[in-house]
Homo-oligomer: A and B are copies of this chain.
Amino acid sequence: MSRASSAASLFAALGDETRLQLLHRLSSGGPGSIARLSEKSKVTRQAITKHLEVLADAGLVHSARQGRESIWALDPARLAEAHQALDQISAQWDVALERLRQFVEK
């Protein structure tokens, strides 16, 4: 993760309700086929496929063909990196907020 340059693309990948739901589904329910991941969704299977590909481009998930279905799962390594990226942004904002707080108190 080349700090800041790819943070934007990480956020962009997370910037969609359907994709957040997919991530949540994968992180709480474990790996699943496209069909199963599409089950409770309002959009079509192909739409889900596209979203999964976006998440894959961001490195957050990956897939493996198994028979006639392709199983998608979270990618632990990249997810951990993304986790850190989020923490860094949070930390940066902490500093900003602290600065603002002190400014107001003066």
Contact = CB atoms under 8 A, between A and B. Distances in A.
A16 B27 contact: no
A28 interface: yes
Contacts of A17: 4-5, 8
A96 B9 contact: no
Interface in A55-106: 74, 76, 79-80, 82-83, 86-87, 89-90, 92-97, 99-101
Contacts of A93: 27, 79-80, 82-83
What is the count of identical protomers in the complex?
2
Contacts of A80: 93, 97
Contact of A92 (B16, B21, B24, B76): B24
A21 to B, nearest CB: 8
A39 to B, nearest CB: 19
Contacts of A96: 26-28, 74, 79
